[in-house]
Amino acid sequence: MRKFCWLIGIFGIWLLFIQACNQNTAPVVFQFKDKLSDYGFFKGTLKLLQPEENVLPYELATPLFTDYSVKDRFIVLPHDSAMRYKGAGLPEFPDSTFILKNFAYINPNHEKVMIETRILFRDPADHQWKVMNYLWDSTQNDAQKWIVGKKIPISLIDESGKVQSTVYQMPNTNDCKRCHINNSVLTPIGPKVRNLNYTRHSETENQLLKWAGMHKLADLPDLATVSRLPDYKDSLKFTVNERARAYLDVNCAHCHTKGGDAYNTGLFLEYEQADSNHLGLYKSPVSAGGGAGGLDYDLVPGSPAQSILLYRMNSVEPGTAMPELARTVIHREGVVLISKWITEMKH
Residue 347 has pLDDT above 70, yes or no: no
Q: Which of 171, 191, 223 is the last residue of a domain?
A: 223
- CB 63, CB 71: distance < 8 Å: yes
Q: Domain tally for the chain?
A: 2
> How many residues make up the chain in this entry?
347
Whether residues 191 and 240 share a domain: the answer is no
Element (H, E) at 68: none
pLDDT score of 270: 94
305 located within any domain: yes
Percent of the chain with pLDDT over 90: 76
**Region 82-111 average pLDDT:** 97
Whether residues 216 and 242 share a domain: the answer is no
324 located within any domain: yes
Ordered strands of the 70-76 beta sheet: 55-58, 70-76, 98-106, 112-123, 128-136, 143-145
Residue 323 has pLDDT above 90, yes or no: no
Q: What's the rounded Cα separation, in Å, for the pair 331 and 133?
A: 24
4 located within any domain: no
DSSP string, 278-298: TTTBTPPPSS-GGGGTT--BS
Q: What's the rounded Cα separation, in Å, for the pair 207 and 73?
A: 13
Catalogue the long-range contacts made by 206-212 (C-beta closer than 8 Å, 24 or more residues apart).
207/58, 207/59, 211/56, 211/83
pLDDT score of 12: 47
Whether residues 117 and 159 share a domain: the answer is yes
Answer left, alpha or beta for residue 2, where phi above 0 means left and psi between -120 and 50 means alpha: alpha
Whether residues 112 and 160 share a domain: the answer is yes
pLDDT score of 177: 65
79 located within any domain: yes
Least confident of 118-122, 181-185, 296-300: 181-185
Whether residues 197 and 296 share a domain: the answer is no
Residue 16 has pLDDT above 80, yes or no: no
- CB 57, CB 74: distance < 8 Å: yes
Residue 31 has pLDDT above 80, yes or no: yes
Whether residues 198 and 254 share a domain: the answer is no
Q: What's the rounded Cα separation, in Å, for the pair 97 and 3?
A: 52
**Region 37-56 average pLDDT:** 97
pLDDT score of 27: 56
60 located within any domain: yes
Element (H, E) at 322: none
Residue-wise pLDDT tens digits, 241-251: 999 999 999 99
Question: Which residues span the domain enclosing 338?
Answer: 230-344
Count the neighbouring beta carbons within 10 Å of the beta carbon of residue 276: 13
pLDDT band of 292, cuts 50, 70, 90: confident
Whether residues 208 and 239 share a domain: the answer is no
Whether residues 143 and 175 share a domain: the answer is yes
pLDDT band of 288, cuts 50, 70, 90: low
13 located within any domain: no
- CB 287, CB 265: distance < 8 Å: yes
Residue 5 has pLDDT above 60, yes or no: no
Catalogue the long-range contacts made by 70-74 (C-beta closer than 8 Å, 24 or more residues apart).
70/103, 70/104, 70/105, 70/106, 70/112, 71/101, 71/102, 71/103, 71/104, 72/101, 72/102, 72/104, 73/99, 73/100, 73/101, 73/102, 73/190, 73/191, 74/41, 74/49, 74/98, 74/99, 74/100, 74/101
Whether residues 214 and 247 share a domain: the answer is no
Q: Which of 203, 223, 243 is the last residue of a domain?
A: 223
Residue 137 has pLDDT above 90, yes or no: yes
Whether residues 237 and 209 share a domain: the answer is no
Residue-wise pLDDT tens digits, 223-278: 999 999 999 999 999 999 999 999 999 999 989 888 888 888 899 999 999 999 99
Whether residues 80 and 217 share a domain: the answer is yes
123 located within any domain: yes
Residue 7 has pLDDT above 70, yes or no: no
pLDDT score of 262: 83
Q: Which of 162, 193, 223 is the last residue of a domain?
A: 223
pLDDT band of 289, cuts 50, 70, 90: low
Whether residues 265 and 217 share a domain: the answer is no
Q: What is the mean pLDDT of the chain?
A: 90
Least confident of 62-66, 185-189, 277-281: 185-189
29 located within any domain: no
